[in-house]
Every structure is written in structure tokens, then in C-alpha cells.
Amino acid sequence: MFKIQSMKFLNENIFQMVVEAPMVARACLPGQFVIVRSNAEAERIPLTICDYDREKGTVTIVVQTIGAGTIIMSKMKAGDELADFVGPLGQPSDLVTDDIEEVKKKKIVFVAGGLGTAPVYPQVKWLKEHGVGADVIIGAKNKDILIMEEEFKGVAENLYITTDDGSYGRTGMVTKCLEDLVTAEGKQYDHCVSIGPMIMMKFVCQLTEKLGIHTVVSMNPIMVDGTGMCGACRCSVEGKTKFACVDGPEFDGHKVNWDEAMRRSGMYRDQEAKAKEGI
């Protein structure tokens, strides 16, 4: 069992849990994820590791309540225990495994949308701790659902916030902000990491292809076992089948078949709606 050390809501639908999981905390790196079950009957939920403290043996996850599984998790409190907290799973981000001297030569921009803001944090924090500066663009529909602004102020070289409705920061989507930075404000990037809803990552990739910026995305397809056995998370990258749970979750975004990935992620909509009605 894995004790919840703290639980807090960052906005109406997104909560942050710090979980006692010393083995995961000891081994994990930015870019990896865990699979969580709140109780023995609950479904398995893949969640990105958003922070970790090796000394305290804790791992932080940030979760959006969307369907039955995450709603059940959202009702848990500090002191409760999760039945499973399996990980670290998947490959760490290339930025933390590549030769650090080569990484230092790159001009890096992170483009995060909505909940994707949380998984970007450990990567930017790790880079800062290793002497690499990175710009960060965070996009949210409006000011009320923006998360982790203060945390990012401490780790980003430059932080750009943009809201779709203009209620805070710049106005418009993350793609507009990135395009403005590069075409009108003299910014140059050669490496982009984009994490957020699939549709956002698809449009970021279309833009960065035009701008000539290599782009890595973190895929979040339906996952079941998380160990490469069931095939649920398969996606096509450069025409080849990849399993996001073991080959990813990060891939070259210019090589991902986005239409197929988006079609597959909606495959169980009817069953998910029924499960939500049942709680």
C-alpha cells in the first residue's frame, strides 16, 4: 500500500497528491510515469511523475478528474492508501539522458497546455539543476484553470503565459505565442518539448515543422498493462508501430500519425461514460 502524504486541489478539477513510494522515488527520472490503482477493484490509471524527493521517498502526481477512475482518486485524503503505485515506467526524457554538454548547446522551449503543464515541470527543474536554461510557454483556457505558475517562475529561464480568452498573460493559444516569439520577437529555438492534449500537440508540431524546430511530444494513449504486453498503447511513428509505454511516452512529434492516435484514444468513450454514471 502507498500512503498519500498530502492532497490538495490546484483548481476545481485538478488535484496534486504527494505519495510515499520510496522505490519509485529512488529510481525515477523526468519523463517517466506510474500506473496507479486507488483500490483493488479500481482501474489502472497511468500518470506522469511530476516531481520526486529521493530523500523523503515521495513522488508527486497531478491529476485531472475526468472519468470514473480519477473521480474516485479525487475523493481520497491525506493518510489514505493507494493499492498500487507501479513504476517508474517508460523511458526518461532524452534531455536528461543525452550528453549534458550537448544539451547545453540547445536552445530549448517547452510548450505546455492545460494539465500538460505538470509533466513539463520535472524536466525544466532537472535542466535548471544541471545548468541548462529553458523557456516555457504555458497555455490555459482561462486564468482560473492555470496551474503551477509560481513553481515555474523558480525554474524557467523565461516564462510565457497565454490564455485562450485573454483573462491572464498573452491572449491566444500556445501556438500563437510560440509563433510570435520566433517570428516577431527574435527568439530562436532548436528543440521543443510539447506536452498537452493530443490536438494541441498536433498543431504545435505543424507549426514547429514550418519553423524548423525539432519537436518531442509526450504521447498519452490508452494504456492497460504499461509493460509492452497488451498492445493497447500502440501508435505509429514514422510508419512503424511503437508502444508508448515502453518505447515512449516521448516521440519525435513530426513523425507521429496524429489522426490515428486521436481516433484510438476515443475508442472506449461509451464504456467510459457508463463507468462514470455508475459512481
Q: Which is nearer to ligand FAD, 93 or 182 (CB)?
A: 93
CA 250 to chain centre: 10
Point out which span in 53-61, 117-125, 204-212, 231-239 binds ligand FES (CB under 6 A).
231-239
Q: Which is nearer to ligand FES, 112 or 244 (CB)?
A: 244
From ligand FAD, ligand FES, none, interface partner of 157 (C-beta below 5 to 8 A by class): none
Q: How far is the CB of 186 from ligand FES (least distance, A)?
A: 42
Q: Is 241 in the site for ligand FES (CB under 6 A)?
A: no
Q: Which is nearer to ligand FAD, 67 or 113 (CB)?
A: 67
Distance CA 37, CA 73 (A): 9
From ligand FAD, ligand FES, none, interface partner of 69 (C-beta below 5 to 8 A by class): ligand FAD
Q: How far is the CB of 34 from ligand FAD (least distance, A)?
A: 9
Q: How, if at all, do strands 191-195 and 108-113 pair?
A: parallel
Q: Which is nearer to ligand FAD, 91 or 163 (CB)?
A: 91
Q: Is 121 in the site for ligand FES (CB under 6 A)?
A: no
Q: Is 43 in the site for ligand FES (CB under 6 A)?
A: no
Q: Which is nearer to ligand FES, 44 or 141 (CB)?
A: 44
